[in-house]
Structure 1
Amino acid sequence: MIYQFRVTLPGIKGFYRIYKVNSVNSLYSFHKQMQADLEFPADQPILFKAMSGETVLARYALVNLGFGVVDEVQIQKAVKAGADHFEYFYDTKAKKKVIITLEAEEPGNEVAVPTLMNDMKGPLPIEFENGYVAFEDLPQEKRHLPGEKSPLDMLLGGDDDDDDEDLDDEDEDDEDEEGDDETEEIYDENE
């Protein structure tokens, strides 16, 4: 059996990855593949929370928490127990996680190891931690293309374009003056 999973960041619309995973793969092999693809830190403890809706069915980690360890638990075990998604904590101390949602099941064994599909959106999760904001995640009043007025600007009747051009002209004048300073050499001919 092949499972298709969608990996998303909680509360972020501008990110997802699609994986195809063989049902007999362990949670650990899935973890290692995501860690490599999504550049998660390798020195952090991990945790898979198998979920059905809002109910926690099981917790799987590198140590046995009562349900087995990630390198011994096959993904099909959690799915057969009723898991429709996982919360995968790639850094348990900082509580950083992704949501892994089961989207489809198909018969076959053509996928031997967890495989990242070409269907993806957004940069790596670390970019969101560093301040990246996807267009979909912007508040509605800030969604506009470069050169377009935002709905707020149109309501206020502001004309920021002229101000920007004036600033650009001033910057060019400053650059010309600085350029003159750089070409002027000061030296003593007698030395």
Structure 2
Amino acid sequence: MILKYRVSLPGIKGFARVYEVKGSASLYSLHKQMRADMDFPQDQVVLFKSFNSRGDVVARYSVFQDFGLGTIDAVTAEQCHKRGEDKFIYFYDTTNVKSVIVTFEGEAEERRNVIYPLLVESKGPNPIEFENGYVAFEDLPDDKKKDPDDEDFDDDDDFDDEEEGDDDTEEIYGDDEED
């Protein structure tokens, strides 16, 4: 069984990652793949908080602590899916409360000669870029969006249309004649 999960950031349309995961894969293997693909810090304790279809928190999975249903290296994606845990908040940095949303999208056909978890779709930069002020085009307010194909598009807003010299400048080099 191959399960497809979409990784997103709350309120940001310009970011997405889609993974295909073997049902037998542990949450730990998904964590390792996301950490590698999205440059998450290596030295952080991580946590998967799972939700049911009503949006209720039903489980928490961590590396070292068993909160009742197992640790992330002992729980598989298929086990979570069968229990109806199809949405997670994955805290990749619990110290600074940084997270992404991981949502089940459906089942996929198994691909030959690939290693799972497999990144199958990528949109936008890594989450750290959004923390540093990056704003994706689709997240801009409508009045800030400009279509380069539009006839009224002016891509040199920062420059004056007139390139006249400044009449008040002092001549530094000149033909100074000494008497």
**Structure 2-normalised TM-score?**
0.80
Per-residue deviation, 1:112: 4.7
Counterparts in 2 of 1:121 and 1:19: CA distance versus 1, 3 Å: same
Query: Counterpart amino acid of 2:60?
Result: R
Specify the alignment match of 1:57 in structure 2.
Answer: 58
Specify the alignment match of 2:89 in structure 1.
Answer: 87
What RMSD in Å do the two structures reach over aligned CA positions?
Answer: 2.9
Specify the alignment match of 1:10 in structure 2.
Answer: 10
Runs (4+) of structure 1 exceeding 4 A deviation are: 107-112, 146-150, 159-163
Specify the alignment match of 2:118 in structure 1.
Answer: 115
Per-residue deviation, 1:7: 0.7
Distance 1:57 1:108 in 2: 29
Per-residue deviation, 1:143: 1.5
Instruction: Please state if 1:125 is matched with 2:127.
Output: yes
Contact kept? 1:22, 1:112, Cα under 8 Å: no
Query: Counterpart amino acid of 1:8?
Result: S
Instruction: Please state if 1:22 is matched with 2:25.
Output: no
**Alignment partner for residue 159 of structure 2, among 154, 161, 164?**
164
Contact kept? 1:22, 1:109, Cα under 8 Å: no
**Structure number having the greater helix percentage:** 1
Per-residue deviation, 1:13: 0.4
Distance 2:157 2:137 in 1: 25
Distance 1:160 1:23 in 2: 49
Distance 1:139 1:130 in 2: 19
Distance 1:74 1:125 in 2: 25
Counterparts in 2 of 1:145 and 1:78: CA distance versus 1, 3 Å: same
**Structure 1-normalised TM-score?**
0.75
Distance 1:38 1:160 in 2: 32
Q: How many residues align?
A: 165
